[in-house]
Structure 1
Amino acid sequence: MAIKTTELLPSSSPEELKKVLQSVASDWGDVIDDSDALQVIPLKGAMTNEVYQIAWPAKNNGLVRNVLVRIYGEGVEVFFNRDDEIRTFECMSSQGQGPRLLGRFGDGRVEEFIHARTLSAADIRDPKISELVAAKMREFHDLKMPGPRKALLWDRLRRWVSVAKSFCSAKDAKEFCLYTLKDEISMLEKELPNDHQEIGFCHNDLQYGNIMIDEETSSITIIDYEYASYNPVAYDLANHFCEMAANYHSDTPHILDYSLYPGLEDRQRFIKTYLSSAEKQPSETEVNQLVDDAEKYTLANHIFWGLWGLISAYVNKIDFNYKEYARQRFQQYWMKKQELLSSSTIRQKINVNGHVSISQKILSDSC
């Protein structure tokens, strides 16, 4: 569609964005002015930012240039430091990972457009694609990145609890157990595996929309590093497994279907590939240990994304039912806690059939 540059995107600084695009085009020998026909394609599925593919005709060879423009979501600075994310982005790029940063403007940036296909919800459960993702994940975790090589998970969770309390109504604070969550986080930090855990540079948001595949070469690219940090690799594996319950391109993108959570054999296969890609053949004991660790870390993951959803309901304007998403993640936490930690001191609500109820009562009664 042909549009004026100043009408290009819902950015608060269209003139600044125009200058960045002009600079990028100039580097490629192209010229963009107000008479140019710019093609704008909104890319769906993002839950933090608004993302667009922008194209214009190249000046000399008749080709079409493509870039990706990312408009930062409102209020996301409560989750991460944008300057830290940009440094991660640039460091990743210098190591041949992900897209290049082409330019920045007030409330967004311009990135290299990767000519590859973003995975679908079904793709990450495809055994062949899953193996490629597992190997790439191992490579990602082995990256040497700035900062101390220690887990940042627990401090981030505690900070988010404070942020959630500052935004939430008294009703939401009670329903989502905000006044007891810090105790839960401290308990998990103590109970989850730590004597043998490996710390790696983790993506922390490895849902299918952040994974791309070049189908000609079968190469995998991991994108979007907003939440990336050093963490236990078991936590990142747990996050990826939990994301298999989601389909953010459905009519109800906030609804999670845990019947799609990978079974034991699928998790074992993924982790065996993950460990094997480090040029060694893992023992059955090593595989099973990491499978068990990852399963326990799903508890921390449910709290992480539960808090994210609850805070986002107050600060983000993207059309997504963040609060219902948060409710489901917290329900999973309370439902799975006893089973995964095997502690007699932890209560679990079970219905008369011996199955865990997923009603809102679980959430409110567990505080």
Structure 2
Amino acid sequence: MCADLPFFDIELPLMDNLKLMAMAKEILSKLKPSWHCESVSFKFFTAGITNKIFCVTHPALNSFKTDEKVIFRVFGRNTEKIINRKAEVENWLRLAEVGCAAPLFAKFLNGIVCGYLDGEALTVANVRDDKIVTEICRSVAKLHMLPPPDHSRSWSKQQQFDEFFTKNDISLRKDFIKLQELINALPTRVVFCHNDLLVHNILYDSKSGKVSFIDYEYAGFNYQGFDIANHFCEYAGVENVDYSLCPTTEQKRAWIRQYLYFFLQHPPSIEDVEEMLQNNDIFEAAAHFFWSAWALVQSQNSIIDFDYLGSVYFRIR
């Protein structure tokens, strides 16, 4: 599938926006030949802590048409150390086929161009709204029900982290082994997961009531409980982290009950709900471990203005 995607031998700069916009227009002149590139406008999003993301809008030519938009995602510096970009594209194309992701239009040397999805990113305030929670549960269940591909790649993020830790004399291997032993003892499913359901990666369209997920770069098969526990952790927010905002036990129970209703396609038993809730603490620990490791890598490589080491402190204290 990746071979059929248009590729542009162009590398967009991360720090020079004027040059970046000129080079993006060069890509669009070939990708969208009907667009008048001198008329397009750019909007840069500041919430991303891995990549540089911006939207390009082409104005409607008349009142009977609507504006056309595409999204550029410029990969962060050295993020290939922890993200398999080929696997990301393959996952994205597969998810787009079943309506779980925006269409993917093209690749360039250090990024991709994809479709625009209507909606606003969630906040720590509305991620707990009952109506929105129902739609999140529905969408997570749909994602988790995707069948595995005909062939799967055995590729381990942990192996990449291990190489980084060894090179930089950071030892987390014992902690990982202990956590893995705890997880292996749990009766949990392995499903296709988003793996990064923070509030900025969930869009809500108030007109349609639909929830959409974006940024599938960490997606892949993982423990079902990890995706859910990681989402609960992200109630705390990204920039000004406050773990007192995380859902209460009763809120988690209600969330899990709704999710299992969509996933199982029938009302779950009390036992099913309580088992997933009981295992949640271990998967929350796994989520904190994973993102702490990620932050250590990013602190050595990223040029994005974000306190990665500070995020480690809040997760492990």
| Same fold per superposition (TM over 0.5) | yes
State how far apart, in whole Å, the 2-side matches of 1:307 and 1:298 are: 14
Q: 1:17 aligns with which of 14, 17, 24?
A: 24
Write the deviation string for residues 321-363 of structure 1: whole angstroms up to 9, x where unpaired.
Answer: 11111222232xxxxxxxxxxxxxxxxxxxxxxxxxxxxxxxx
2:246 matches 1:239: no
- CA drift of 1:221 comes to 0.9
- CA drift of 1:144 comes to 2.2
2:189 matches 1:198: yes
Contact residue 149 and residue 230 of structure 1 kept, 8 A: no
| Greater RCO, 1 or 2 (C-alpha within 8 Å, sep 6+) | 2
State how far apart, in whole Å, the 2-side matches of 1:149 and 1:282 are: 30
Q: 1:47 aligns with which of 35, 43, 49?
A: 49
Higher CA-based Rg: 1
State how far apart, in whole Å, the 2-side matches of 1:11 and 1:140 are: 38
Write the deviation string for residues 167-217 of structure 1: whole angstroms up to 9, x where unpaired.
Answer: x4xxxx5xxxx32x2112111111225452111101110001111122122
Q: 2:214 aligns with which of 215, 223, 241?
A: 223
Query: Which stretch of structure 1 is more off in the superposition, 295-304 or 62-71?
Result: 62-71
| 2:31 alignment partner AA | V
Contact residue 161 and residue 307 of structure 1 kept, 8 A: no
Contact residue 308 and residue 326 of structure 1 kept, 8 A: no
Q: Structure 2 vs 1, CA of residues 191 and 63 (structure 1 numbering), >3 Å: closer, same or farther? A: closer
- CA drift of 1:38 comes to 2.2
Contact residue 276 and residue 282 of structure 1 kept, 8 A: yes
Write the deviation string for residues 20-45 of structure 1: whole angstroms up to 9, x where unpaired.
Answer: 3123322xxx2334xx1321111121
Matched ranges for 1:104-123 at <5 A: 104-123=107-126
2:68 matches 1:65: yes
Structure 1 stretches lacking a partner, 5+ long: 1-5, 332-367
State how far apart, in whole Å, the 1-side matches of 2:153 and 2:280 are: 17
Give the aligned partner of residue 265 of structure 1: 250
What SS class does the counterpart of residue 125 from structure 1 fall into? coil
- CA drift of 1:232 comes to 0.9
What SS class does the counterpart of residue 221 from structure 2 fall into? strand
Q: 1:37 aligns with which of 24, 36, 39?
A: 39
- CA drift of 1:15 comes to 6.4
| 1:161 alignment partner AA | D
State how far apart, in whole Å, the 1-side matches of 2:235 and 2:58 are: 36
State how far apart, in whole Å, the 1-side matches of 2:286 and 2:130 are: 26
Q: Structure 2 vs 1, CA of residues 62 and 214 (structure 1 numbering), >3 Å: closer, same or farther? A: closer
- CA drift of 1:242 comes to 0.6
- CA drift of 1:158 comes to 4.6
Q: How many residues align?
A: 303
What SS class does the counterpart of residue 115 from structure 1 fall into? coil
Matched ranges for 1:148-159 at <5 A: 155-159=156-160
Calculate percent identity across the aligned residue pairs: 26
Contact residue 205 and residue 211 of structure 2 kept, 8 A: yes
Matched ranges for 1:1-367 at <5 A: 10=17, 17-26=24-33, 30-33=34-37, 36-59=38-61, 63-146=66-149, 155-166=156-167, 168=168, 178-179=170-171, 181-192=172-183, 194=185, 196-246=187-237, 248=238, 253=239, 255-277=240-262, 278-331=264-317
| 1:133 alignment partner AA | I
State how far apart, in whole Å, the 2-side matches of 1:59 and 1:126 are: 38
State how far apart, in whole Å, the 2-side matches of 1:282 and 1:123 are: 26
- CA drift of 1:148 comes to 6.3
RMSD: 2.5
| 2:55 alignment partner AA | Q
Q: Structure 2 vs 1, CA of residues 57 and 14 (structure 1 numbering), >3 Å: closer, same or farther? A: closer
- CA drift of 1:129 comes to 1.1
Contact residue 145 and residue 201 of structure 1 kept, 8 A: yes
| 2:144 alignment partner AA | H
Give the aligned partner of residue 7 of structure 2: none
Write the deviation string for residues 244-266 of structure 1: whole angstroms up to 9, x where unpaired.
Answer: 112x3xxxx1x421111111000
Write the deviation string for residues 220-271 of structure 1: whole angstroms up to 9, x where unpaired.
Answer: 111111111111100111100111112x3xxxx1x42111111100000000
- CA drift of 1:91 comes to 0.7
State how far apart, in whole Å, the 2-side matches of 1:13 and 1:156 are: 30
What SS class does the counterpart of residue 55 from structure 1 fall into? strand
| 1:73 alignment partner AA | G
| 2:36 alignment partner AA | I
Give the aligned partner of residue 353 of structure 1: none
